[in-house]
Amino acid sequence: MSRREKKGAGRPARARRGEIVVNDYSERWLRQGFPWVYAGEVATGGPSAPGTGITVRSGKGEVLGRALADEGWIAARVYRHDGGPLDTPWLEARLDAAAALRERVVDPRTTGYRLVHGENDGLPGLRVDWWESYAVVVLDSPAVAPLVEGVCRWLERVRSPRGVHLCYRPDPRDKRDFSSLRPAPGLVAGHRAVGDVRVAERGLAFLVRPWDGPDVGMYPDMREVRAWLEPHWGGRAVLNTFAYTGAFSVAAALGGATEVVSVDLAPAAIERAEANFAANGLEPDQYEFMVEDTFKALDRFRRTGRAFDLVILDPPAFSRSDAGTWSAKRDWPRLVAAACRVLRPDGWLVAASNQGEISPKEFAGLQGEGFKKARRRAQEIQRLGQAPDFPAASWFPEGRYLKVVVWRMVD
């Protein structure tokens, strides 16, 4: 469930310089550990320059935490829920805790994963991805930039990366101008890789480009989905739509699928998918790669009578095609219906969405509309989510963003 911005009715205290006072609604969430203060929840105080350290207080004047101020739809990101400083010992303790979790939950055969997962590791707006020997630091806003220097020092101490790349991933709801970001995105420490970087996922090989962060060429949050499917590829004809650089296609081919078809609208993505096949000792010309709109490909397969045993649907949340920008409520039912029409009896449909604003219940309902539209019946046989290096914190409902459902056709 997604928390929505509301206004409380308490009579606020006056905020001093370097402070904000929040309304009662925000106070209740902050006391549960929630890390954001929305702009509409600030009762008094501010504005402070983005990236300025501020104290957050309740309407009664009690300290609720220490934060970095911002000027977008989020007014402040709260890093401590006490009055302590946002200093080096605090930052390194948070980073050490995040790294310790990954040491426990990431398979030793995996060298590409999330090292720090923002709000869910107590560091709102900051993510760090690790790719073999390169780090990518991802910021949701320039207001988080004061943490970058400390993160780089910590990385050098604990990982000695060959290079550290900085990039920004503003929330689409943030309407500010991000054309002049400071610090500028790009290499901030070490050296840029010469050519693609080869990383491993449970023994599979993938080629990534850290300098293109945050989307370097694979999505490690889907690792557990690929792991769950591993025993089920054998002997099946697999269609991977919105294939991107082909991680699921590679897994299917290595898992013994008799056919693997990869469809993506971007020629560059398909080229990289073929390179990933080659990196795993697979001959790309023995498999099918199509630069095509997924809906058009599905319709053509239907018209020609081509059918599959397993279809993967993992559309990007903000993709564009000839039909316009992706809309979950409009497009998921027709996408599921189109996939059902090329699935054999007893075939499996794997549907995935990373749109956090869509609840699991709503997501299942959209798929149900698709089954009805296609006049097919299906059984839900598995629900999956993000890999454990993408933890979902109890204090941050938005952390459970990835929803994956595996359906079996029963008629």
- Domain limits, the chain: 19-80, 88-197, 219-409
Report the first-to-last Cα separation within the chain, whole angstroms: 33
Helix %, strand %, coil % for the chain, to 5? Answer: 30, 30, 40
The answer to whether the CB of 129 falls within 8 A of the CB of 214 is yes
Give the residue ranges of DSSP H helices in 21-87: 24-31
Burial class (CB in 10 A: 0-12, 13-18, 19+), 45: buried
- pLDDT tens for the chain, 411 residues: list them: 344 444 444 466 777 889 999 999 999 999 999 999 999 999 999 778 999 999 999 999 999 999 999 998 999 999 999 999 999 999 999 999 999 999 999 999 999 999 999 999 999 999 999 999 999 999 999 999 999 999 999 999 999 999 999 999 987 777 777 767 788 899 999 999 989 999 999 999 999 999 998 999 999 999 999 999 999 999 999 999 999 999 999 999 999 999 999 999 999 999 999 999 999 999 999 999 999 999 999 999 999 999 999 999 999 876 555 556 768 788 999 999 999 999 999 999 999 999 888 899 999 999 999 999 999 999 999 999 999 999 999 999 999 999 999 999 998
At which residue do the structure tokens 């790294």 appear? 99
pLDDT score at 199: 98
CA–CA distance, 278 with 182 (Å, rounded to integer): 39
The CATH superfamily assigned to 219-409 is: Vaccinia Virus protein VP39 (3.40.50.150)
Please state, as a whole number, how many other Cβ atoms lie within 10 Å of the Cβ of residue 201: 23
- Which of 350, 239, 234, 219 is closest to 290 using CA atoms? 239
CA–CA distance, 59 with 56 (Å, rounded to integer): 10
H or E stretch covering 259: strand 259-264
The answer to whether the CB of 200 falls within 8 A of the CB of 194 is no
Q: Which CATH class is domain 19-80?
A: mainly beta
Query: What amino acid is encoded at 236 in this protein?
Result: R
Task: Count each helix (H run) and each strand (E run) in the chain, helices first.
Answer: 9, 22
- At the topology level, CATH places domain 88-197 in Transcription Regulator spoIIAA (3.30.750)
Q: Are strands 112-117 and 126-131 parallel, antiparallel or unpaired?
A: antiparallel
